[in-house]
């Protein structure tokens, strides 16, 4: 049975490092970015990082920052490549909404991931070209106001 687990105790394990490496950063910065992300969670114990585990195997992770008691910002979300398109991302989002009683969940993303957020039920707004040649998007899920919400 799948379950959502706190992965902080295994944050420095090879399996977590491998999963974070799948966040699709450019190859020339991927290892450094992975180390930076893991350090961010290690140094901020109040910043949750959870995963979906099935039979002891980590399939996905989601890291976020609580901005108020009922609002959070997704910092990182990744599903193992061989497990994508199986609803695990949606399951993690739904799980943190329930576990933390979230009223609002937001994220910022790029063109590659914006459709995932749209399909899950987030409202999407373009932030324009935030970096040269890179359009960014603000994604917002407000369960109280959105009947299509998964939270």
- The count of C-alpha atoms lying within 13 angstroms of the C-alpha of 150, restricted to the half-sphere facing its C-beta, is 21
Integer Cα distance of 9 and 146 in angstroms:
35
Bridge partners of 134, per DSSP, are 131
- 151 versus 134: the higher-pLDDT residue is 134
Q: Are strands 104-110 and 71-79 parallel, antiparallel or unpaired?
A: parallel
Q: What is the pLDDT of residues 48-65, one digit of tens each?
A: 999 999 998 999 999 999
Strands ordered across the beta sheet of 57-68: 2-6, 49-54, 57-68, 71-79, 104-110, 134-141, 123-131
Would you list the domain boundaries of the chain?
2-141
For 92, which DSSP code? Answer: H
Q: What is the pLDDT of residues 2-48, one digit of tens each?
A: 999 999 999 999 999 999 999 988 889 999 999 999 999 999 988 99
Neighbouring residues of 1: CB distance < 8 A, sequence distance ≥ 6: 54
71's enclosing H/E stretch is strand 71-79
Q: What is the pLDDT of residues 83-137, one digit of tens each?
A: 999 999 999 999 999 999 999 999 999 998 999 999 999 999 999 888 788 899 9
Residue 147's pLDDT is 44
Instruction: Tell me the pLDDT band of 143, cut-offs 50, 70 and 90.
Output: low
For domain 2-141, give the fold. Answer: Aminopeptidase (3.40.630)
């Amino acid at each position: 049975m799948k379950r959502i687990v706190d992965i902080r105790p295994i944050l420095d394990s090879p399996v977590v490092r491998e999963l974070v490496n799948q966040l699709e950063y450019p190859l020339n910065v991927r290892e450094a970015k992975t180390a930076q992300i893991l350090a961010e969670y290690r140094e901020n114990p109040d910043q949750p990082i959870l995963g979906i585990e099935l039979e002891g195997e980590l399939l996905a992770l989601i890291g976020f920052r609580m901005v108020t008691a009922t609002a959070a910002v997704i910092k990182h979300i990744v599903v193992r490549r061989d497990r994508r398109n199986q609803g695990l991302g949606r399951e993690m989002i739904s799980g943190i909404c329930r576990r933390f009683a979230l009223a609002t969940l937001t994220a910022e993303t790029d063109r590659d991931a914006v459709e995932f957020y749209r399909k899950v039920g987030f409202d999407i707004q373009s932030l324009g070209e935030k970096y040269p040649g890179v359009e960014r998007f603000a994604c917002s899920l407000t369960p109280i106001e959105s009947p299509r919400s998964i939270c």
